[in-house]
Amino acid sequence: MFKPSTARSHRSWRTAQSYTGTLLSSAVRQQLQSLRTALLRLHRVLLDGERLTYEQVRGRVANSGELLQLVIHHEQFAWLHPLSELIVQIDETLRTDEPIASEEIESLIDRIRQLILSPDPPEFGTKYHLSLQRNPDAVLAHADIVPLLTVKQG
């Protein structure tokens, strides 16, 4: 089960070793901000599609509060959690005042790349590929993300 408070406070994606990092450059910060915006758009499109599928079987979702509870707790929406967690990790990276090793940025972008572009995906990828086949808005959102998945230097 997805636990938003755990995703925000848990920094397992950050290396535990001590290292000499640098503050985010403006180019990297802009890239992460653009990637975050594109991922949020993709998440919204995928969530809307999953909501429609849910409503066809179980009836209308009454309000945004009910939808939030479904997204957090219902298994039909569980496949979206890895994407949500990566967005949270970008948010944490953008908020930090601590130096960050370039390898951490590369690792974060690589995990996004693996989730979005993997040809042999686990549950997320299977449902994601189906969404791309059914929903032109998902294809457009996906196309906006792909060019952002290279690590900027500097």
Average pLDDT, the chain: 86
Listed in sequence order, the residues at least 6 apart from 97 whose beta carbon sits closer than 8 Å to its beta carbon are 23
pLDDT category of residue 19 using cuts at 50, 70 and 90: very low
Sign of CA dihedral 119, 124, 127, 130: negative
List, for residues 44-53, the tens digit of each pLDDT value: 999 999 999 9
Q: Give the tens place of pLDDT for each residue, 60-83.
A: 999 999 999 999 999 999 999 999
What is the pLDDT, as a whole number, of residue 152?
A: 62
Of 131, 112, 123, which is closest to residue 50 (Cα–Cα)?
131
Residue 59: partners with Cβ closer than 8 Å, 6 or more residues away: none
Q: In terms of Cα–Cα distance, which of 72, 75, 40 is closest to 54?
A: 75
pLDDT of residue 120: 73
pLDDT tens, 92-144?
999 988 888 889 999 999 999 999 998 776 789 899 999 999 999 999 999 99
Nearest to 89 by CA among 105, 75, 69: 105
pTM of the model: 0.81
